[in-house]
Structure formats: structure tokens, C-alpha cells
Amino acid sequence: MSVLLIILVVLAVILGVADIRRNLITKPVFEIFKKILPPMSSTEREAMEAGSIWWEGELFRGKPQWNTLHGYAKPALSEEEQAFLDNQVVTLLKMLDDHKIVHEDKDLPKEVWQYLRKEGFFAMIIPKAYGGLEFSAIANSTIVSRISTRSLSTAVTVMVPNSLGPGELLMHYGTQAQKNYWLPRLADGTDVPCFALTGPEAGSDAGAIPDTGIVCKGMHEGKEVLGLKLSWDKRYITLAPVATVLGLAFKMYDPDGLLGDKKELGITCALIPTSHEGVQVGDRHFPVAMAFMNGTTKGEDVFIPLDWIIGGPDYAGRGWRMLVECLSAGRGISLPALATATAHLSARTTGAYAAVRKQFGLSIGKFEGIQEAMGRIGGLTYTLEAMRSMTAGAIDLGESPSVVTAIAKYHMTEMSREVINDAMDIHAGKGVQLGPKNYLAHQYFGTPVAITVEGANILTRNLMIFGQGATRCHPYVFAEMEAAANIDAEQGLKEFDGLLVRHVGFAMGNFFGSLFQGLTVGAFNSAPVSGETATYYKQLSRMSRGLALCADFSMLILGGDLKRKEMISARLGDVLSQLYIASAVLRRYESDGRQVADLPFVHYALQRCLFRIGVAFDGFFQNFPNRIVAHLVKRVVFPFGIHYQMPQDEITQQVSDSLMQPGVMRDRLTHLCYIGDKEDDPVGMVEKAFLAMFDSVPVEKKILAAQKDKRVPRKLPLAQTLELALKEGVISEHEAEQLKRTDNLRRIALSVDDFAPGELEGSAKQNKKEKSVA
């Protein structure tokens, strides 16, 4: 007993007396930490420091405060924004013929370009003081989504000027003179912008761009001024072929010391009129057969004055930080909007088509194989809308959450890919036969666009989500890294000592907290609500603890190698992502007033999230290099094994049935989907047939009852069946006409386009001839 007491006293002295602790514990750990610290380039550091930490920080730290989640205001459109959606956007949608845009003109009609300029579609993010609309992020997202359900090519054209580009950069960093000149011109459509970052040798590794700007003196407007001699070669630049002003990212050098002692200033952004001497707008790309403008730009020894740097000379070398901080517009608004639009369109049309299309005398939506796919479509559509609203809402709250927007970009575009694949599978021939009646194929073609831009999805998942999340969201790691990098070693050690004590306490709390929650299966966790969703809050809190524990062990054991263990870090990123996705679903359910009709969708989405968390954890434990640690941590987090499962068939079928049931739930689920009122509107065709079939169900039941009583024979052509049913008094003349009309609408909805021999070839030749004349 006395020996134990002595040991405890010694430990108390070592840990409690700062000088002793610092020399015996902190200093050795500090030296080890600096050795295992992952190497970090300047661009990586700027990416880490950019943006803000929002709800993802709660999830990463192991104790999410669910009342905080519920406290975030539900984003809503202002009266002005709603009026724009109801008027200008609807007018635009009626002007669009996507088949003609994509397959004939390969461009938007001139009148559409003019309308977009005139009505401010390119100026949604620009303040009213400069002539813009100054719309919220949720309005921007909703407008782009709505347009995308009609024409993806038009949606991309609209989204780019309102995403990462000259407008966004000028608003945040431009000099007052730059804002005064450029923003009004961008707002009224006088100028069309593009932004050039990606080149043949620099895609995801933007820090490796070879494009250069050399500080020198040159002639501008008849005077010798200090400026830059620029050389660049860029590709994949959306709107480049029609742009009048070019935003350009390059590496800036000052070899002659004209600005100071620093020779390499770093990535810089400048704004250049495309009419400027030496600027080459190159040939056009043709991305996945879509009609939005995309192409190349080059320049060789193009001289510009220093004042053309965005933000002026003071912002030389600060371009990468500027770009990273503004990426939330693309990752958090535009790309999630495209993904959600695909889901709204797919859910609306697939539910209708599965009811209209019959095989073996039944709507195909009654077959369980179709129901499984439709369950995914419905569940993911609900999830995507929840994520779209929550992520855009964060930006409207003034946040710039780089980790959250990376999660949204990756997972929403991947879910969109899953949804469109299922929709195409169910539509089969109707989905693959191109023509004016096809409403899915262009979304299918365009899905890879959102997946590859703003950082390809493989990069986003494997390097960004956990790479940034582990450092930025952890309460102590980033501060410890800064302490380790402190030039004043003594001061750094002192800062590190305080952080280490708190970090150890945090880690121990997560260890024992995870063990307790594992042994009790999260039963004693609190939930902010009662009812059917309470258990999800408890399980998500438990998984949040597990993530915090696994992240600490990973950084401790792997150190700098964690950066290269992409598959390990990606799985932890998947856990963080699914926690965020589940949070968005729970928040939507609460903010929508806990609608009973939503419950099948909520159950589907949350059970899927928990299942994927389990899969990610399982892969992490199976592949973690240190097998002893992997086994230990698994027994702490999951002492009884991982038992999360995908939704049961009953839930899947409930979701599927909702897609084939006209009414409020279906309308709420797919409210972004545009349905035209013209006779030849492709979505309108299948919708009319669907509603007509639903209205005809009571009449069909009369005939089925008569067939069961053998008053009307089975398996006769419709015309004969109706004739006999009328003769037997089973239905009235009006009801017979109703069934004839319904059958006609059904046939129209199921029909696909066909072309006479030589028609397609003739159309192609005519287009080529018209281009040569033009």
C-alpha cells in the first residue's frame, strides 16, 4: 500500500509541477512530435488555415451538442428571391429546348444568352450596390438546381459566374477601384468571366502550376510601368470560349528584386481582359457531349500592370489562400445543387414511369427488384435535399466550412451518380434512346462533370476530408503543430506543454467514454428528442466518440505516414462524412415539423449512414498497420462487434410506394423538378400519364371485379375489354373514354424517339454547313 502511495505521489509531482513535467515528459514528446509531424507545404498550410470550423468540429470531437444543430436557422428564400424563382426562372425554363441545345446547336440560343445577361442570372452573388442581385446561398443553390432539372448545360453556364471566379474573388479581395469597374460590368452582362487554374501539368496539385508571372517593367497605355510578364497554358476552363475577362492563377517571381528581397512570391491571381494583347482564347472542349462552353486559354510573355493583380500589389503571392477560402461557393453551393437536381428529376420521373410501365399485367414498381432501386432513389433524394439545405445554410450563416463543403461535394455527387444509375436501370430503353422525349440521358452524361471539377472525387475523399478534418477539427492538433513550428523553441515548448496536458485528458476521456458506450451500446446517451429518431442521436454520439478515439490513435501511431496512408485516412473521413450526412437528415426532419410521411425516408437515410459508418470502421480496423492497436481500439469501440445494417425491405418498399403515390409527400420530395405545360414536354408527358392512371384506378377496379366474376374475359385487347364492360354495364361511357385517354397518355409516355433513315446524318451535315457559313 505504501509503495502504491509513493508511486501516486511521484506521478502527482511529475504531472503537477510544470517545470518537472516539461523536462521529463513534455520535452521528449515534443521532440518526437516534431519528427513525426507530417511535412506541410505552404499551399497545404494555407488550405488548412483557410475557412472556418462549423458543425463538423462538434462531430469530430466526440460530444456533438445536438441542440446546437437544431438551433441553426432553416434557410429560406426572401420574397424577392421567391419572386425571381417564380418569374424569371420559370420564363427561362420555358425558353429551353435541351435536346436542341445539346444535339443540334451545341450552345445556348442567342436569346437565352441575352436573357441570362439582362435578368442578372450571372450576378446572383454580386451586391446590389454594384448592380447585382445579392441573393443568398440557398437562393443561388435553388435556382441552379431548378434550371438543372431542365437543362444541365444551362445550369453550368449560370453557376460558373456565381461560383469560384472573378466575381467571388473581387467581392472578397478586390481593390475598391477594381470593384467599381468590374462588378457593374459583370452584373449587367457586359463582361462574361472565366477563371483559369487547371493546366496540362497541374490539376489537383494546384501548387505545382508551371504558369509564371515575372515582375518587370513594360509599356502600358503609352507609359513605362511596373508589371508582370505572364506565360500560361490552361485547359478545362468553363466559359473560356465566350469570356471577355479572364481570371488567371500563376506563380509570381521577382528575380530582380523590384518589389523587395523575396524572389518567389507564390501563387497570385490577376484579372485580364481577353481582348488584351497576347491573350489567346484557344479551341473549345466538348465535355461529355454537353453544350456548356469549356475550353483553353494561353499566353506567352503577356505584359500586364501590377494593378491587375486581384487586390492590387499587396495581394501578390496570396492567391492560393484566396482561392481556398472561396472554394465554398463551388463545393458548397453549385455542385451540390447539380447533384440534388439529378435526384429530384430522377425521383419524380422514375416513380411515375414505374407506375406507368407495365409488365405481366402489373406496374413494374410493384416488383421487388424495382422497389429496391426506387427505395435507394427516394432515400438518397431526401438525403441530398437535406445536405443541400444545411450546407448552403452554413454559408448564409457567414461560415466558410472547407471540410463540410468537401464532404458535400464528394458524397453528394457520388449519391447523385448512384441515383441516376438506378433511374436509368429502371427506365431501360426509355433512358438510353436519345431524342426530345428523353429526360434522363443528359443528366446521366453530365454526372461526371460535377464529380471531376473542384478537385476530382478521389482526391476529395482520400486527401481533403480527413486530411483537413483531422487537423482543423481536432481541438488541439493544429495548435500543437503551430507550437512545434514556433521559431522560439522555448516558447513553443511552453505552449506545447499546456496543449499536451489537455490533449491527454481529451484522449483519455474518449477512450473510457468509447468503452462505456460500446459496452452499453450507447443506450445511456442523451437525445434531444423522443420518438422514433431518438435512437439515431444516441448511436451517432457513440460513433462520434469512436471517431475521435481512432483519429487520435492514427495520428499518434502513424504520424506523418498518415498523409500517405490514403485508404486509412479516407475511411476515417467516411465516418466523419456519414456523421455529417446523418446530422443533415435529422435537422431536416426537425425543421420540416417532424412529418410522419417523412419517417420512411428518414429511417432509410439514417440506417444507411450508420451501416456505412460500420463498413468504414471495419475497413479501418482490418487494415490499420499496427495490429495490436487495431484490435485494442476495435474492442473498445465495438466490444460486441459491428451490427449496423442497411434498411429492411419494409422500409425500402414504403419509400418506393411513396414515389408512386401522387400527393404532398411526392411534391415536397421533388419540388425542384420542372414540369413543363407544353404537350411535347418530356417530363410533362410521363407526369400526365401517371396522374391519369392514378385517377383511373377506381374504374380499373370495376373491370377487374367483373373479370373475376367472369362477366368480362381476361387478356383481351383494351378496346374489346371496354366494349364488353360497357355492354355488361360495368362502366359508363364516360369511364370508358377516361380509360381510353389514360391508355393513350400511357403510350405517349412510354414512347421513345425514332429517326428516319439518313435523318440524323442529314441533321449533322446541315449543322456543319450552317457553321461554315456563319
Question: Which residues carry out catalysis?
Answer: 454
Which alpha helices (DSSP H) does 624-717 contain, by range? 627-637, 649-659, 664-669, 682-695, 697-708
The C-alpha atoms of residue 255 and residue 252 are separated, in whole angstroms, by 10
Say if residue 273 is exposed, middle or buried (CB neighbours under 10 Å; 0-12, 13-18, 19+).
Answer: middle
The C-alpha atoms of residue 322 and residue 44 are separated, in whole angstroms, by 13
Our CA angle for 392, 188, 162, nearest 5°, is: 20
Cell numbers at 588, concatenated: 431536416
DSSP 774: -
- Nearest one of 447, 449, 441 to 682, comparing CA atoms: 441
Q: Which residues contact 243 (CB under 8 A, 6 or more apart)?
A: 192, 193, 194, 237, 274, 281
φ, ψ of residue 654 in degrees (nearest 5): -65, -40
DSSP 257: -
The C-alpha atoms of residue 211 and residue 495 are separated, in whole angstroms, by 40
- Nearest one of 334, 382, 327, 285 to 152, comparing CA atoms: 334
Identify the helix (H) or strand (E) that includes residue 300.
strand 294-305
Which alpha helices (DSSP H) does 26-136 contain, by range? 27-36, 42-49, 55-60, 66-71, 79-84, 90-95, 98-100, 110-118
Beta-bridge partners for 78: none
* 280 alpha carbon, distance to own chain's centre: 32
Residue that has been written with the C-alpha cell 476515417 in this structure = 572
**What is the chain's Cα-based Rg?**
30
Instruction: Find out whether 126 and 318 touch, Cβ atoms under 8 Å.
Output: no
Q: Which residues contact 544 (CB under 8 A, 6 or more apart)?
A: 58, 59, 60, 61, 62, 63, 64, 579
Cell numbers at 51, concatenated: 475557412
- Nearest one of 329, 121, 160 to 239, comparing CA atoms: 160
- Nearest one of 210, 195, 214 to 301, comparing CA atoms: 214
3-state helix, strand, coil in the chain (%, to 5): 65, 10, 25
Instruction: Find out whether 550 and 514 touch, Cβ atoms under 8 Å.
Output: no
Instruction: Find out whether 484 and 519 touch, Cβ atoms under 8 Å.
Output: no
Position 163, amino acid: S
Cell numbers at 187, concatenated: 452584373
Cell numbers at 683, concatenated: 417530363
- Sign for the CA dihedral angle at 709, 710, 711, 717 comes to positive
Q: At what angle do helices 319-329 and 166-173 cross, to 10 degrees?
A: 120
Our CA angle for 403, 405, 408, nearest 5°, is: 110
